[in-house]
Amino acid sequence: MRIDVVSIFPSYFDGLALSLLGKARESGILDLHVHDLRDWTSDRHRTVDDTPYGGGAGMVMKPEPWGLALDELAASSSEPTIIFPSPAGEVFRQATARDLAQREHLIIGCGRYEGIDERVFEYAATLGEVRLVSLGDYVLNGGEVAAMAMIEAVGRLIPGVVGNPESLVEESHEDGLLEYPSYTKPSAWRDRAVPEILLSGNHGAIAAWRRDQQVERTRVRRPDLLGD
Ligand code: ADE
């Protein structure tokens, strides 16, 4: 998969050289490119924002650098999916990550300030599928942190990125439930024992206990996921 990220703070993404995603990049499974939006400006100050028409607080990102960036990056594939992190978008879920992990080419445009000139989204739709995607119902200073989260959630679903594919299955949200609790040695720690059943060697009983734990945790912590 190829991912192009456009941001005025490209160094945010330096962390993606680490860990499993860093390895995936080295091995070529993940072809990730981070670009500075200012490289598509032509004035001396490399200006990317201006005051909003109609007035109001803050600045709006100008359309011209975005148009040039999207033209150049979209030209490298036939069907790019163009994602703009935005608190006004659809909520990013595990299902969104699974969907995006199937795509050949993602372009992620990180807005700052009060947002990007609306015409950029309309224009982007002429180049590929456009998705405005929110990390959740809170406001960040820009799209970068949301983009990082999305790249990690999508990247780990690309075959070969996570060594043991089974660890992808037994996780919160993969089956609509929260994950069961995990324990390791020692079996007693600070007067707390590991649940007896996990030491029993009875795999059927362990699986049933884990399932019960998943349902109970989901009921208590995230009843919205159970839909009743
Ligand atoms: N940019 C600012 N807030 C955001 C959010 N909640 N999700 C995605 N992008 C954002």
Given ligand 1 and candidates 134, 137, 145, which is best to mutate, with the most ligand atoms within 8 Å of its CB?
134
Tell me the pLDDT band of 49, cut-offs 50, 70 and 90: very high
State the CB neighbour count (10 A cutoff) for residue 19.
11
Checking if the pLDDT of 198 tops 90, the result is yes
Residue 140 CB–ligand 1 contact under 6 Å: yes
Residue 143 CB–ligand 1 contact under 6 Å: yes
Q: Which of 213, 188, 214, 211 is nearest to 199 (CA)?
A: 188
Average pLDDT, the chain: 95
Rounded to two decimals, the pTM is: 0.94
Q: Which of 114, 120, 141, 116 is nearest to 59 (CA)?
A: 114
The predicted-structure confidence for 66-98, as pLDDT tens digits, reads as follows: 999 999 999 999 989 999 999 999 999 999 999
The predicted-structure confidence for 117-137, as pLDDT tens digits, reads as follows: 999 999 999 999 999 999 999
Tokens linked to 191: 């007067």
Residue 223 CB–ligand 1 contact under 6 Å: no
Given ligand 1 and candidates 6, 7, 83, 86, which is best to mutate, with the most ligand atoms within 8 Å of its CB?
86
Beta bridge partners of 116: 61
**Rounded distance, CA 210 to CA 218, Å?**
12
